[in-house]
Homo-oligomer: A and B are copies of this chain.
């Protein structure tokens, strides 16, 4: 046992409200093998951990053996990097403060680090994706909500308490702003998440009642951002305006983010990020129109280079390279 240990792989675990996905990853970001369990099957934490341990141990044994694993990274809601705890996560069955990193580290005998999913995505992008080699960038995830991870000087910004990077809750409309689940009104998330886009659709359709739109074929409360995208691609004017508005709100917010940390790039992830020029053109134009000369036309807006299916596991796994 005196020889230098070579541990070429890491494990990523992404705990979502529905599924817990996990996989073994190499230094280049290839996923060797992955599997998943249902997060909600067990209301008791112990039983969930037992099932996760059994399934992940099997995956590891079948592929490389635990001796080749350098560490385990976990992405989870309300996860605190500093403490290794999951704290009062509304979408998970186990309440209170859970010392998840400690539990996993003890079970497997390797270091474990954890953070929230948007932070994990940022570390993933820096390690394997669109932000390789960058020391300053901002990750924005456009999903059911809007998440973010901020990287400055080559390190993720966790803040003094581990909760930095809640850019989805920056206020973008101070007057008559939309009510957000966080308690505030006018949060970025209420306009530019997938649900925000659906909200904009309902607003626009009501305000422009005399105008025809493909979206009127769908019951208003069932319209999704995907429906808006499909209509926009077919040339629907209201649908295109919904994307223009969403891009404008994002562009205004990004201009303010740039004044904070002057990133080399802002990297977008999530379904909405795939809307292409429909979103990107108004976004980049508005962003640059809202910047002073020293920042104008200098900041790249990029798409994530992670494949959707692997992104969550890759992001979580990237944390593990530095886990102690």
Which residues of A come within 8 Å of B, CB atoms? 134-136, 150, 152-153, 155, 157-167, 169-175, 182-184, 252, 255-257, 259-264, 290, 292-295, 298
Chain A contact surface mostly: loop
Partner of A136, one of B159, B182, B260: B159
**In the complex, which residues of chain B have a beta carbon less than 8 angstroms from the beta carbon of A264?**
160
Given A153-B155, A174-B174, A252-B171, A262 contacting B293 (CB threshold 8 A): no
Q: Name the contact of A292 in the complex, choosing from B135, B184, B292 (C-beta under 8 A).
A: B184
**In the complex, what residues of B have CB within 8 A of residue A260's CB?**
150, 157, 164-167, 170, 257, 260-261
Q: State whether A290 and B171 are in contact (beta carbons under 8 Å apart), knowing that A152-B157, A155-B153 are contacts in the complex.
A: yes
Out of B164, B165, B257, B262, name the residue touching A161 (CB < 8 Å): B262
CB<8 Å pairs between A and B, sample of 14:
A136-B160, A152-B159, A159-B261, A160-B262, A161-B294, A161-B298, A162-B262, A164-B260, A166-B295, A167-B259, A169-B292, A174-B174, A174-B252, A183-B292
Q: Which of B255, B261, B293 contacts A150 (CB 8 A)?
A: B261
Q: How many chain copies does the complex carry?
A: 2
Residues of B within 8 A of A295 (CB): 163, 166
Q: Which residues of B contact A165 (CB under 8 A)?
A: 259-260, 262
Residue of chain B at shortest CB distance from A162: B262
CA of A262 to CA of B159 in the docked complex: distance in angstroms? 4
Q: B136, A262: Cβ atoms under 8 Å?
A: no
Contacts of A290 in B (CB 8 A): 171, 184
A259 and B292 in contact, given A160-B134, A175-B175, A298-B161 (Cβ under 8 angstroms): no
How distant is the Cα of A158 from the Cα of B167 in the complex, in angstroms? 19
The answer to whether A292 touches B136, judged by C-beta atoms less than 8 angstroms apart, is: no
B263 close to A160 (CB less than 8 A) = yes
Pair B157/A153 contact, Cβ less than 8 Å: yes
Contacts of A172 in B (CB 8 A): 174
Residue of B nearest to A157 (CB): B152
Instruction: Give the interface centre of A167, A292, A293 by most chain B CB atoms within 10 Å.
Output: A292
Which B residue's beta carbon lies closest to that of A168? B259
Closest chain B residue, CB of each to CB of A153 = B155
For the complex, what is the distance from the CA of A264 to the CA of B161, rounded to whole Å?
A: 8
The interface residues of chain B lying within 8 Å CB-to-CB of A167 are 259-260
Chain B residue with Cβ nearest A155: B153
Q: Say whether, besides A160-B136, A264-B160, A170 and B292 are in contact (CB < 8 Å).
A: no
Q: For residue A80, which residue of chain B has the nearest CB?
A: B294
Q: Give the Cβ gap from A285 to chain B, nearest Cβ, in Å.
A: 15
CA distance A183 to B164 in the complex (A): 30
Nearest to A293 among chain B residues (CB) is B183
A134 to B160, CA, bound (A): 8
CB A9 to nearest CB in B, in angstroms, measures: 28
